[in-house]
Structure 1
Amino acid sequence: MIETQDDDRAFPPALADVAQVEFDYDDGEGVDFEPYDAFDSAEETTDWLRNWTGNHDLDGDAYRVFGQDGTGGLVALWRVRSGRPLADQPVVFLGSEGERGVVAANLSDFLWVLAAGLGPLEVVEFGSREARPNPTLTDLAGRHATTPRRPAEEIIAEAQSEFPSFSDDIDALCR
């Protein structure tokens, strides 16, 4: 099914299920992730991107924000693969202090990263630190994922190698 402009803001069922999971921050040893139960609006996303980059000529159409960390850094699907559904788009993190990076190459792989006990902030800030697998998220990934389960380190490395210029591309947007 090809998504149209009208339905590319429909919240994927996998993310709706993730939004029901409580993530344990565990005083910095757990996962700092607060999933949303819907995408931020186009207006909110545009406002955030303009403020984050200082570039008021941008719109936020390339991003579907679906969560945050405790400091306000945002997690989004990055609509970089033209004509492909949202679930096939990479997951990125844009932190409140300028941190940014690709977390997973698609929504399915993101579910496996979460199942391994890593959140978007942890991936970007600490790489593939020792993870604590989460049985609830492992079950959720097993129900929704369309990619095979593999180590989080492999998923992260593949995604970051597929989009090596993400950080530079963001820098080019900044004013």
Structure 2
Amino acid sequence: MNRRFPDALKKMHEIEIDYYHHDIDFEPYEEFNSKDDTAHWIKAWTGNESLDGREFLIFGQDGSGGYVAFWLTKETDDLLEQPIVFFGSEGELGVVSENFGDYVWLFAHGIGPYDAVAFPSLESKTIDKLSKFAKELFPSHEDTPKQIIQKARARYPGFEKMIQELCR
């Protein structure tokens, strides 16, 4: 899989949003974490020295240091079709969305990665700039946050268990 930061992700992260004002705990990156940084992180997060984290491309974090990443699990060269997952600093873990289009719609509804995992029933609130972006790039992905999160969990029900089994 190519490690080039997708244009759509760059554009999303360039949108000037006061995440704090919108109660979204998110810090966007301008590039993926390096392979070495990702390997170091997954070993520390799981306590498993045999892991290298190559199936994760980290592209953002929350204020406590929890990471948001593409999980490279589908057989596709289109990175935006890969699921997005969250690894919290306090052990929170889960699939955020089935793909990037759904992820963008979560943000358009004011739901960040941590919230999607820890508070999946959180009330949504539209963020105009992100809603406009979502409608332009991913109109066919428009759903409620609850539908997006439920769809992702149904598609990848074993993610949390798989990761927990890697922990030492």
Give the shorter-chain TM-score range. Answer: over 0.9
- The residue type paired with residue 143 of structure 1 is E
- 1:82: Cα distance to partner? 2.3
Q: How many Å separate the matches in 2 of 1:39 and 1:23?
A: 22
Q: Select which of 150, 158, 165 maps to 1:157.
A: 150
Matched, 1:24 2:33: no
Whether 1:69 aligns to 2:59 is no
Q: CA deviation at 1:152?
A: 1.3
Give the Cα–Cα distance (whole angstroms) in 2 for the partners of residues 157 and 24 of structure 1: 24
Provide structure 1 residue ranges, at least 5 long, that are not aligned to the other structure.
none
Contact 1:18 1:35 in 2 (8 A): no
Runs of 4+ in 1 over 2 A off after TM superposition: 21-26
1:171 aligns to 2:164 (yes or no): yes
Q: How far apart, in 2, do the equivalents of 1:154 and 1:75 lie?
A: 20
1:105 corresponds to: 98
| Aligned CA-pair RMSD | 1.4
Correspondent of 2:121 among 128, 146, 155: 128
Q: Distance in 2 between matches of 1:107 and 1:96?
A: 22
Paired residue type of 2:109: A
State the distance in 1 between where 2:150 and 2:77 align.
Answer: 22
Tell me: CA distance 1:114–1:172, structure 2 relative to 1, closer, same or farther (3 Å). same
| 1:105 counterpart letter in structure 2 | E
Identical counterparts, % of pairs: 40
In the TM superposition, 1:57-96 aligns within 5 A as 57-96=50-89
Worse-superposed segment, 144-153 or 103-112 = 144-153
Q: Give 1:137's aligned amino acid.
A: L
